[in-house]
Structure 1
């Protein structure tokens, strides 16, 4: 079953397919209550990681996010790192940012440093294609 949430002015588009092992989060993430907003996705990820595919990919195409989203992203990456470390799936994280957005590039670099034990790719694009 595919887990999807449409984007709003304050929340990102989310697309997670256990069939492909790919999670995509795109847009702005400044929900009033990040824990509540991301709860369903987190539960889907936990269930998926009980019996994941050989490869799992997390693609983050973020324009802006708040502190509570930072905590969610950290917890999400910890969950994937744990699965990677015990060998149930190979994880790759892709942090995609607009080439002129130094703040998002820096945020990606900080996450890459925190999770230096899993493949973490930073990719600059001229402009996001989802606006």
Structure 2
């Protein structure tokens, strides 16, 4: 293979990698005006850490394909999540003992506020990149 052909292939590969990197990070940190799509991208592949009513730490990891895993002291649950155009987050648990829940979502600088329609006091949580749930 000639040196010119090698250089051309290297430049093509480098350009492709740069294009992919800029495309894949375009929605990584949406502003508060990005609407439902921005918040959905903001949640995906992040773990929400928030206190429950007793002050105990809860964690929810939002997966890429609409699934979630929830950890609260000594228990794991899973299910599916969806965010509608009104920024209402719906959590549907795989375990029939848990009722589905809905929260109005508002993005903050480094986290989100979840407001339960039946409860006026919002819960403020922090988002951490990746899956931060404990193992087993």
Q: TM-score range, shorter-chain basis?
A: under 0.3
TM-score (norm. length: structure 1): 0.27
Larger Rg: 2
Kindly indicate which of the two structures has a greater share of residues assigned to helix: 1
Kindly indicate which of the two structures has a greater share of residues assigned to strand: 2
